[in-house]
Amino acid sequence: MARPRKILNCLVCCVPITHAHMGVDSCRACGVFYRRTLKLKYRLECTCGGKDITRKDKIVSCRKCRFEKMRELVNRATAGEITCVVDVTSITNLHAVTLHC
């Protein structure tokens, strides 16, 4: 009998995700946005006045707030404040390794 899969949400934009990106529970879109913003050194300006407006029809309405959320999560993960527990059901079957955060 298969174990029920835990439903996770992106900690930045709250969309359902199947696995973590950048070491935290984030969707691929937020991870790519974060990496691209760092690499290309975009200058972002807050458009929401610091109210962190999140809408269900859009990922995150303010790009600077989205970037700041992701940066905080990545910093916490690299500082060891966020940890993942490895659940190994079978040592011989590498596909059985899952991460629960």
Instruction: Tell me what pLDDT residue 2 has.
Output: 64
Euclidean distance between CA atoms 33 and 54, whole angstroms:
16
Euclidean distance between CA atoms 72 and 92, whole angstroms:
36
Instruction: Tell me what pLDDT residue 99 has.
Output: 40
Instruction: Tell me what pLDDT residue 95 has.
Output: 41
Euclidean distance between CA atoms 52 and 64, whole angstroms:
9
Write down the H helix ranges in the chain: 28-40, 63-78
This prediction has a pTM of 0.66
- CB < 8 Å & 24+ apart, contacts of 83-90: 84/20
Contact 89, 96 (CB under 8 A): yes
Instruction: Tell me what pLDDT residue 87 has.
Output: 47
Low-confidence ranges of the chain (pLDDT < 50): 57, 86-101
